[in-house]
Structure formats: structure tokens, C-alpha cells
Structure 1
Amino acid sequence: MLITFLRHATAQEHTLAKADADRALTDKGIKQVKRLAAFCERNQLIPGNLFCSPVLRAQQTADLLNAYLPGCPAAQSAEWLATGSAPDQIREQLNLLANLGGNDIWLVGHEPDFSECIAQLLNTSADVLSIKKASLTRLEVDFASPHSATLLWSLPSALMR
């Protein structure tokens, strides 16, 4: 199974006046997703399935990807990708998707959830990973074999020009 982790794009700063879940993308974040979509189109990176956190900034990232990347499916909101999701919970859902025949899954979510999940799949420490905003990280995972994930690539938004 191919799994592509997309951290949400740059969002408004966290303030006491606004709930974390209600933080929207900034103009910079919107530009990041448009650049990401153009990069994906040039490199024929089209999600087979797209799941996103129910948090606004992740939904906006997924919706913009869908709008600007031809062939990109609409995002399915997934509570198991909400802020603070445990790596085991994400891994369990990915395993279920693999058992249902999913083979190209894209996830839009948050840090440190993604680096912790990726580290667990790679059987390494989360300290060695830094998932930047609007970046893509792709793994190949065989859930039938323990610790059989391979990091294929990780690309920060700044290099998607």
C-alpha cells in the first residue's frame, strides 16, 4: 500500500480568541496548496483516495487540492486524523483500508501526529522526522509483515517549484 502524508498548509496562528479547530489557512497556505497541486499534476501524483482531518485547516487543504489537481478525489473527513490522534489509531485505520483493497491512500493531517505515525511504521524514533507544512511524505507499507514500511520520499513545500 502506498501512503502519502500531506501536512496541512500554513494556517492562522493559534490565539485564545479562536479555537484551534477553527484556524483557517492563510494566503500563504492557499498558495502552498496551489503550488502543491501544480507539482502533483506535473509529476502525475494523483491520490487514489483522500482522507482528511475534520479540522478546518486540513479540510481546506484537502478541498483546495481537490479543486486544483485534476483527477483528485474529494476528501473524506476522518475523525481518526483529528489533531492529537494516536499513531496506533491511524495505523489501525490504514490497516483496515489495506484489507479493503486500498492501495494509494493520501492523508491530510497534523504534526506531531504524522511524524509519530510515520516513525512507528518505519520502526524508528519520531525525533528523526520533521514534517513541514504543505509537505508530502510517501511510504510503501505491507501491513501483512511487521515493520515492513519503506520511506520512498519526503518533499517539503519549498522544493515544489
Structure 2
Amino acid sequence: MLITLLRHANAEDRSLTVADEKRILTEKGIKQSKRVADFCESKQLLPEILLSSPLTRAEQTAKIVQKNLKACPEVTLVTWLENGTPLKVVVAELGKLAEQQLDNIWLVGHEPDFSELIAYLLQSKGDHFSIKKASLTSLDVCFTGTPTARLLWSIPCSLIT
């Protein structure tokens, strides 16, 4: 199963009085999200299903990408992509999607959760990865037995043109 991870784009500073789950994208974050969509359009990268954390910054990122990427499916919010969800829960939910024969799943979420997921699937350590805001990372994941993956590519937003 192909899984593409999109970390949410640049959001308001954590030091503001806004609750973490309500932080919105900055103007830079909006531009990053549109740039990701344009890149995906030009490379014909299109999800079969687009799942997002319900936290505002992730949802906004997902919806901007969906709106600007032709033929992209609607965004589905899932609580198991919230920041801090235990890794076992995320892996179990991905396993359920694999059982449904879904093959090209995109996830929009957070750090350090994505680094931990990638490390687990690649049988590595979480501190070996740092997923930048608005970056795309693609894995080919096998859910037969213990889930394992092969890193296909990872592109930080700063290199997306």
C-alpha cells in the first residue's frame, strides 16, 4: 500500500493565546499548501483517499491541497491523526485501510507523530527523521505480518517548485 504523508503547512505561533488545536495557517502556510497542490498536479500525484487530522492547521492544509488538485477526493477527518495519538492506534487504523484494499492513501498530520510512524515502518529510530512543514513523504508499506515499509521519496516544501 502506498502511503504519502503531508505534514501540515506553516501555522500560527504556539506562543499565541489560541489553543493548539485551533491554530490556523499563516499566509506562508497557505502558499505552501498551494505549492504542494501545484507540484502534485504537475507530477500527476493523486490520492485514492485523503485523510487529515481534525486540528485546524492540518485540516486547512488538506482542504487547500484538495481544492487545488484536480480530481482529488474530499478530505476525511480522522481523530487517529490528531497530534499525540499512540503509534499502535495509527498503525492499527492503517492496517484496517490495507484490509479494504485501499492502495494510495494520503495522510495530513503532525510532527513528531509522522517521524515516529516512518521510523516504526522502516524499522529505525524516530530521531533519525525530521519531517518539515508542508513536506511530502511517500512509503510503500506491507501489512502482511509486522508492518514494514520502503521509503520511496521525501521532498521538503522548500524544494517543491
Normalised to the residue count of structure 1, the TM-score between the two structures is: 0.97
- Of residues 70-79 and 147-156 in structure 1, the stretch that sits farther from structure 2 once superposed is 147-156
CA distance in 2, matches of 1:19, 1:147: 34
1:53 aligns with 2:42: no
Report what 2:123 is aligned to.
123
Q: Tell me the C-alpha RMSD between the 2 structures.
A: 0.9
User: Which residue number corresponds to residue 30 of structure 1?
Assistant: 30
CA distance in 2: counterparts of 1:9 and 1:30, whole angstroms: 7
In 2: Cα distance, 1:4 partner to 1:145 partner: 21
Q: 1:102 to 1:147 in 2, by over 3 A?
A: closer
Quote the residue 1:154 is aligned against: 154
Change (3 A) 1:148 1:17: closer
Which residue of 2 is the match for residue 98 of structure 1?
Answer: 98
- How far apart are the structure 1 equivalents of 2:147 and 2:77? 27
2:88 corresponds in structure 1 to: 88
Partner of 2:70: 70
Given that 1:8 and 1:61 are in contact with CA atoms closer than 8 Å, whether structure 2 keeps it comes out as: yes
Q: Does the residue aligned with 2:15 lie in a helix, a strand or coil? A: coil
How far apart are 1:16 and its partner, in Å?
5.1
**Which residue of 2 is the match for residue 21 of structure 1?**
21
Cα distance change on mapping 1:29 and 1:16 into 2, 3 Å = closer
Asked if the contact 1:88–1:117 (Cα under 8 Å) also holds between the matched residues in 2, the reply is no
Partner of 1:112: 112
Amino acid at match of 1:114: F
Q: CA deviation at 1:15?
A: 2.6
- 1:69 partner letter: L
Over residues 35-80 of structure 1, what are the superposed CA-to-partner deviations in whole Å (9 max), with x where a residue is unaligned?
1000000100011100000000000000001110101111100000
1:20 Cα offset (Å): 0.1
Can you give the 5+ residue segments of structure 2 that lack an aligned partner in the other structure? Answer: none
Q: Normalising to structure 2: TM-score of the pair? A: 0.97
Paired AA for residue 136 in structure 2: L
Cα deviation for residue 146 of structure 1 reads 2.5
8 Å CA contact 1:123, 1:147 repeated in 2: no
- The code of the aligned residue for 1:6 comes to L
Gapped regions of structure 1 (runs ≥ 5): none
Q: Distance in 2 between matches of 1:56 and 1:127?
A: 26
- Tell me the equivalent position of 1:7: 7
Which AA in structure 1 matches 2:53?
S
| Number of matched pairs | 161
